[in-house]
Amino acid sequence: MSEGGWLFTSESVASGHPDKLCDAISDSILDACLALDPNAKVAVETLVKGREDKAFIVLGGEVTLAEGIENPDFVQVARDAAAGIGYTDHAIGMDARSEDSCEVVELITRQSTHINRGVVQDIDAQGAGDQGLMFGYACDETELFDGHKGRWMPLAIALAQALTREYRKRREDGTLDWARPDAKSQVTLLHDDDGNVVCATNIVIAAQHKDMIAEIGSEEEEQAWVRSKIIEHVISPVVPSSLINEETVIVVNGTGRFADPGGPYADAGLTGRKIIVDTYGGRGRHGGGAFSGKDPSKVDRSAAYASRWAAKHVVASGLSRECEIQLAYAIGVANPVSVRVDTFGTGLVPDEEIASLVNQHFDFRPGHIINNLGLKAPIYAVTASGGHFGRVPSDPSQFTWERLDEGIITAFQAVL
C-alpha cells in the first residue's frame, strides 16, 4: 500500500522469453494445422532448453486432421517459428536453423477418441472439449491515456505488454540491433482511493543484449548505455509522460548485465507458463487453463475469448467501469453450466440485469463461439506474445474478440 492510494503491478515477457518461445512454437503448429484443415483438433505443448553443446526443442501432444490430409512438418514449423523470433545463433541461446546445434524431438500422436466424439458435432450440439472455468475481464483504465484508448484493459498490463511489443519492434527494425529476443517488463501504478491511476512508481525492463564492453568501455558504461537506449526507444514511446515524475524508479537490467547467452540457454521454457501475462496481469481472475497450442474446440481458449468479448461490451457501453464474466463447462456438453457477471460495485444497473443482457446477446455454446469469432482460421501465432487481449489487430481476421458490435452496444445502453 502507498499513502493516499494503492499500488498494482503487472508484468509481461517478450517474444523471445523461453516460455513465450514455446507458446509461439505451439501456436505456429496450430496455425499450420488449421491452414490444412479448419476442423483440425490440436493440443500441442513445447519445451525448450539450451546447453553449451546443443539446444533442444521437444514437441508433445495430439493432432488429428481430416482423413487424407497429412500432418504438416512439425519439426520444420518449430524451427521456423524459433528462427523467426530471432534464435538464429547458438551463441545467444539457440540456432533453431541448425540440425547440428539444435535438436527437435517430436512426440505428437492423435487426439483421444473419447474427447473427439464430444466435439465433432454440428454448431448447436458441439460440446466443450473439456470441463473447466474461464474468466473474461474489462475495465476503463486505459481510456484516459492516448495511445491506449479503445483497449478497455487494466493500465498496468496494457503498458507492460506494450513495452515488450515495442522492444521486439525496435529490435527487429534495427533500432536496437544489439538487443536479443529475451526480455521482460514490469509496471507498477499508483491509484487514488477512487481507483484512478495517478502515476507510475516503478518501471522495470530486463533485456538480453550483445556483450559490448569491448566497444563501450566498462561494465558500468555498458549498463548506462543500455539503460539510456531502452528509456529512449522503448519506455518513452509507450508510457505516457503524464505518468512519469521525479519519483518514478526505472530499473533496466537490475542485476547489472544480461549479456549473451540467454534465452533457452539461461532458462528452460514451457508452453502455457505465462497465463497471467497472456490475460489481465493479475486484475480479474483466471480459470487456470492456458491458451497456446489449443484449437478452439478447447474452451480454455475459445470461451476465455468469448467472455472477454462480452465483458468488453459491458464496459464500453457504459454499464459499468469494470466487468468480469465467468463461464464454466462440462466436457461434451454445449451449454455452459454457469454464467456469472460481477461489476465489483461499479455497475449502473444490477449485475443480475447485466447478466440477463449478456445471455441475450452472446451465445456461449462452443460451436457458436467458434463461428461468431471466426476461430477456425490460422490466426493464433500472433497471439503468442504481447497479450491476447486489448490488442489492435493489423488484420480484421485477428483478435476478433476485441471488436465491438455497435448493435449490442446500443442494446446495452438502452437500459440506462
* Residue 214 predicted with pLDDT over 70: yes
Last residue of a domain, one of 234, 262, 290: 262
pLDDT tier for residue 1 given thresholds of 50, 70 and 90: very low
Mean pLDDT of 247-256: 94
Mean pLDDT of 157-172: 98
Last residue of a domain, one of 232, 262, 292: 262
Residues 86 and 184 in one domain: no
Last residue of a domain, one of 233, 262, 291: 262
The verdict on residue 163 lying in a domain is yes
The verdict on residue 254 lying in a domain is yes
The verdict on residue 210 lying in a domain is yes
Tell whether the torsion through CA atoms of 230, 231, 236 and 239 is positive or negative.
positive
331-340 pLDDT per residue, tens: 999 999 999 9
Contact 183, 17 (CB under 8 A): yes
The verdict on residue 318 lying in a domain is no
* Residue 199 predicted with pLDDT over 90: yes
The answer to which of 49-53, 58-62, 391-395 has the lowest mean pLDDT is 391-395
- CA separation for the pair 141, 190 (Å, rounded): 12
308-329 pLDDT per residue, tens: 999 999 999 999 999 999 999 9
Tell which residue, 127, 135, 167, has the closest CA to residue 333.
Answer: 127
- CA separation for the pair 44, 81 (Å, rounded): 14
Domain holding 28, by residue range, is 18-119
pLDDT tier for residue 393 given thresholds of 50, 70 and 90: confident
In 144-300 the beta strands, taken as DSSP E runs, fall at 179-191, 197-209, 249-252, 269-270
The verdict on residue 22 lying in a domain is yes
Mean pLDDT of 35-43: 97
* Residue 118 predicted with pLDDT over 60: no
* Residue 254 predicted with pLDDT over 70: yes
Residues 111 and 28 in one domain: yes
* Residue 247 predicted with pLDDT over 90: yes
- CA separation for the pair 385, 164 (Å, rounded): 8
pLDDT tier for residue 295 given thresholds of 50, 70 and 90: very high
**What residues contact 412, with CB distance under 8 A and at least 6 apart?**
313, 314, 317, 318, 319, 357, 361
Instruction: Return the ∠ at Cα 127 (arms to 121 and 133), rounded to 5°.
Output: 160
Given phi > 0 = left and psi -120 to 50 = alpha, else beta, which region is 261?
beta
Total domains in the fold of the chain = 2
Residues 161 and 65 in one domain: no
Residues 215 and 166 in one domain: yes
Residues 168 and 102 in one domain: no
Which residue in this structure is represented by grid cell 463461464? 327
Q: What is the mean pLDDT of the chain?
A: 95
Residues 161 and 235 in one domain: yes
* Residue 303 predicted with pLDDT over 60: yes
Residues 175 and 110 in one domain: no
Which residue in this structure is represented by grid cell 456438453? 333
- CA separation for the pair 278, 70 (Å, rounded): 31
In 236-364 the beta strands, taken as DSSP E runs, fall at 249-252, 269-270, 322-329, 338-342
Residues 82 and 167 in one domain: no
Residues 169 and 114 in one domain: no
Mean pLDDT of 28-51: 97
* Residue 408 predicted with pLDDT over 60: yes
- CA separation for the pair 116, 53 (Å, rounded): 41
* pLDDT > 90 in the chain, percent: 93
| Peptide bond connecting 396 to the previous residue in cis, omega within 30 degrees of 0 | no
The verdict on residue 160 lying in a domain is yes
* Residue 121 predicted with pLDDT over 80: no
* Residue 3 predicted with pLDDT over 80: no
Active site residues: 17, 19-20, 45, 62, 184, 258, 267-268, 273-274, 294, 298, 300
Contacts 24+ apart (CB under 8 A), 242-250: 242/145, 243/145, 243/189, 243/197, 243/199, 243/200, 244/199, 244/200, 244/203, 245/199, 247/199, 247/201, 248/199, 248/200, 248/201, 248/202, 248/203, 249/201, 249/202, 249/203, 250/202, 250/203, 250/204, 250/205
Residues 24 and 89 in one domain: yes
What pLDDT does 256 receive? 83
Residues 177 and 236 in one domain: yes
pLDDT tier for residue 2 given thresholds of 50, 70 and 90: very low
The verdict on residue 82 lying in a domain is yes
Give strand pairing partners of 197: 191
255-276 pLDDT per residue, tens: 888 998 989 999 999 999 999 9
Residues 110 and 203 in one domain: no
The CATH number covering residue 47 comes to 3.30.300.10
* Residue 116 predicted with pLDDT over 60: no
The answer to which of 43-57, 122-136, 374-388 has the lowest mean pLDDT is 122-136
The verdict on residue 257 lying in a domain is yes
Instruction: Return the ∠ at Cα 274 (arms to 271 and 280), rounded to 5°.
Output: 140
